[in-house]
């Protein structure tokens, strides 16, 4: 693809007016909007700032490369901008930035565009090009400079390819006594995969050539994995360099001296990384431990909350498909139930498949929290611990209610840290028994310890909580209906499937079964509908406070909420329990209380808005839902902290 199609003259700013990083981003985003490259300034800017929050894209040497890939972008484009005086962009080398390349990639960018973006990024380590760009006066001159640099790079790449073939042929004929050049393998990766990944690749290859060292670099970018390292190449390498800001496939490097650094070091400290790898001064990586000593040191530098949050997000992101897929099918089943009946095969099919998916919510959440902490050996104990939290099974104290998602969170962290403990405890095991760790020792002991903690501690605690709540509700009776409705509605939002939720729902079902009075069913139904609807409202009207994935999940919560599927809010509650649960409880309590104040009666155990025709006061039933959801949604949207911009 011709780089001129990416480097639009109309999008260039040859004299940037901004004096601060924030102003520079604002000016460039505005330019993109003016020329029609983006159609949503706020969304694109939010994603640019989100990337900056991870690590500054001011890569040093006077260059900054802010970039984002989202649905606001209409076409792949690179905006070139110059600042004569320079801007404090919080660059990695602490120096001002003079040249700016704001990369915009659409969600559905094809490989041709992505390859062109990668090629352009790799050109920016050429000091001669950078020098000429700083002196350029017109947009035409900028395009010509890149066109010339690209042709030179293509010629060099072709020559290098021929040289590699010649080397391979010579190596095949060489004897063992021939002198070997040092050989290093590397992996580069950045979160968006459209800039730093390829710049680090180019910097490492260029530096290795200067040092007379052979290198192969695998890129984990937006195009996927390119130049994938083979087992033979890894085995032959003197050392391994990982220059990445996201997770890469690590177990294959077991037993190798491995340098693990941010992708920016691959760009700015290529010589240092190559020396560490060649001289084998880097720690030896052990796959079963899941980390090099260097990585463990870096983990210790992270704040406790940062580590907990990362573990939570791993569980939540893997749980989301089960919530959305299962929830939508259950919602369809409730819609069908009204027209074809509860005994129809169509209703039963959709409802059962949705329920099957929902039965994995808590186990998957717990399993992938555990994996984030203890790697693959923690999958089994995490999954089983989550399953125990999702079942109302008898432990040392019998209970009719599961521990719910809160118990699942605990199960995930317990399983993860149990495996971490086991790894440290067994690190001096004889080498002859090392092979038994992953297939026998970790599964058995991990499951034993996690299961014991869940069985003898977590489950009994929640069983006692459930019994106490049930006794409290029974002692209240139905004398003060509004207070009871408020209490039941609020309880539906506290743990969304745990003891509080189940106790409230069971109490309402018991009352309905005994008296055929659906007043309390109206309270719990409204209380259970509010949390997902509040999430949907907040993600719709406070978009900048949520990630793209959260906004998409938020849309599905409209359907889940209207269908009385409270579990749609679990991923948000797990990631941000204080703001989600407190705001939800307030709205649910108000909605539940209003149903009793207005004398609403819903003689049905489930169905959400689909059972509205059965209510004695359908409009007031819906009004209670709307009031509760709006109150919770507004509280959550306003209260949720804004994402840090830098």
Q: Tokens in use for 122?
A: 């790799």
The helix or strand, by DSSP H or E, that contains position 345, with its residue range, turns out to be: helix 345-358
Show the 3-state SS of 459-509: HHHHHHHHHHHHHHHHHHCCCCHHHHHHHHHHHHHHCCCCHHHHHHHHHHH
Q: Tokens in use for 537?
A: 């409202």
Question: Distances in Å between the alpha carbon of 508 and those of 183, 222, 519?
Answer: 70, 51, 8
CA distance 202 to 126: 9
Do 463 and 398 contact (CB within 8 A), yes or no?
Answer: yes
- DSSP bridge pairs for 219: 188, 226
Q: Which of 190, 257, 286, 606 is catalytic?
A: 190
How big is the CA angle at 484 (ends 478 and 485), to the nearest 5 degrees?
A: 115
Show the 3-state SS of 56-118: CCEEECCEECCEEEECCECCCEEEEEEEEEEEECCCCCCCCEEEEEEEEEECCCCHHHHHHHH
Question: Helix 404-425 and helix 499-515: axis angle, to 10°?
Answer: 150
CA distance 504 to 525: 10
- DSSP bridge pairs for 69: 105
CA distance 195 to 58: 12
CA distance 607 to 564: 6
Task: Find, among 335, 330, 420, the residue nearest to 370 by Cα.
Answer: 420
The helix or strand, by DSSP H or E, that contains position 450, with its residue range, turns out to be: helix 442-453
Q: Tokens in use for 636?
A: 């959550």
Residue with tokens 């004695």: 616
Do 593 and 486 contact (CB within 8 A), yes or no?
Answer: yes
Question: Distances in Å between the alpha carbon of 73 and those of 6, 33, 44, 78, 103?
Answer: 13, 10, 7, 11, 10
CA distance 166 to 160: 10
Residues 6+ apart with CB under 8 A from 360: 322
Count H helices, E strands: the chain?
25, 10
Do 414 and 403 contact (CB within 8 A), yes or no?
Answer: no
Residue with tokens 């704040």: 303
Q: Is 471 a catalytic residue?
A: no
How big is the CA angle at 398 (ends 607 and 460), to the nearest 5 degrees?
A: 100
Residues 6+ apart with CB under 8 A from 239: 184, 256, 257, 258, 259, 276, 277, 278, 279, 280, 282
The helix or strand, by DSSP H or E, that contains position 239, with its residue range, turns out to be: strand 239-244
Q: Which residues are catalytic?
A: 67, 190
């Amino acid at each position: 693809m011709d780089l001129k199609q990416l480097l639009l003259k109309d999008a260039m700013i040859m004299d940037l007016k901004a004096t601060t990083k924030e102003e520079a981003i604002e000016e460039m985003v505005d330019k993109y909007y003016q020329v029609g490259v983006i159609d949503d300034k706020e969304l694109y800017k939010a994603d640019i700032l989100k990337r900056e929050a991870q690590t500054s894209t001011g890569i040093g040497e006077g260059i900054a490369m802010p970039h984002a890939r989202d649905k606001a972008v209409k076409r792949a484009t690179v905006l070139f901008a110059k600042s004569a005086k320079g801007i404090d962009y919080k660059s990695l080398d602490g120096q001002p930035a003079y040249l700016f390349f704001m990369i915009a990639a659409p969600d559905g960018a094809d490989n041709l565009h992505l390859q062109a973006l990668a090629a352009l990024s790799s050109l920016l380590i050429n000091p001669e090009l950078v020098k000429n760009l700083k002196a350029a006066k017109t947009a035409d001159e900028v395009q010509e400079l890149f066109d010339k640099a690209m042709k030179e790079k293509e010629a060099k790449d072709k020559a290098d390819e021929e040289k590699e073939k010649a080397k391979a042929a010579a190596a095949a004929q060489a004897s063992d006594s021939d002198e070997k050049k040092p050989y290093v393998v590397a992996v580069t990766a950045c979160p968006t995969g459209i800039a730093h990944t390829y710049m680090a690749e180019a910097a490492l290859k260029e530096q290795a050539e200067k040092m007379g060292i052979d290198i192969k670099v695998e890129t984990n970018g937006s195009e996927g994995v390119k130049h994938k390292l083979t087992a033979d190449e890894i085995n032959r390498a003197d050392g391994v360099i990982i220059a990445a800001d996201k997770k890469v496939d690590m177990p294959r490097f077991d037993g190798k001296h491995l340098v693990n650094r941010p992708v920016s070091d691959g760009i700015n400290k290529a010589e240092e990384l190559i020396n560490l790898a060649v001289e084998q001064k880097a720690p030896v990586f052990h796959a079963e431990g899941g980390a090099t000593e260097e990585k463990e040191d870096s983990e210790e530098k992270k704040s406790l909350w940062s580590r907990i949050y990362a573990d939570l997000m791993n569980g939540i992101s893997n749980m989301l498909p089960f919530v959305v897929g299962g929830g939508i099918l259950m919602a369809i089943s409730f819609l069908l139930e009204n027209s074809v009946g509860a005994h129809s095969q169509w209703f039963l099919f959709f409802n059962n498949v949705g329920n099957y998916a929902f039965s994995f919510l808590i186990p998957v959440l717990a399993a992938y929290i555990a994996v984030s902490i203890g790697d693959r050996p923690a999958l089994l104990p995490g999954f089983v611990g989550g399953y125990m939290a999702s079942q109302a099974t008898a432990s040392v104290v019998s209970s009719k209610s599961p521990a719910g998602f809160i118990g699942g969170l605990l199960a995930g962290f317990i399983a993860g840290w149990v495996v971490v403990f086991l790894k440290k405890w067994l690190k001096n095991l004889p080498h002859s028994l090392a092979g038994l760790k992953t297939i026998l020792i970790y599964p058995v002991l991990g499951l034993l310890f996690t299961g014991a903690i869940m069985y003898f501690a977590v489950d009994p605690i929640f069983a006692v909580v459930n019994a106490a709540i049930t006794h409290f509700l029974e002692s209240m009776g139905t004398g003060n209906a509004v207070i009871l409705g408020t209490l039941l509605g609020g309880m539906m939002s506290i743990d969304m499937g745990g003891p509080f939720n189940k106790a409230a729902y069971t109490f309402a079902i018991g009352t309905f079964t005994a008296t055929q009075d659906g007043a309390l069913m109206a309270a719990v139904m409204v209380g259970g509908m509010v949390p997902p609807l509040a999430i949907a409202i907040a993600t719709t009207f406070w978009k900048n406070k949520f990630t793209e994935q959260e906004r998409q999940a938020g849309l599905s919560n409209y359907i889940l909420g209207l269908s009385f599927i409270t579990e749609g809010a679990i991923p948000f509650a797990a990631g941000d329990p204080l703001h989600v649960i407190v705001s939800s409880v307030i709205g649910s309590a108000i909605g539940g209380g209003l149903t009793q104040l207005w004398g609403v009666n819903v003689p049905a155990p489930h169905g959400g808005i689909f059972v509205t025709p059965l209510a004695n006061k359908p409009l007031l039933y819906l009004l209670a839902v709307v009031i509760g959801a709006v109150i919770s949604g507004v509280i959550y949207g306003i209260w949720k902290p804004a994402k840090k911009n830098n």
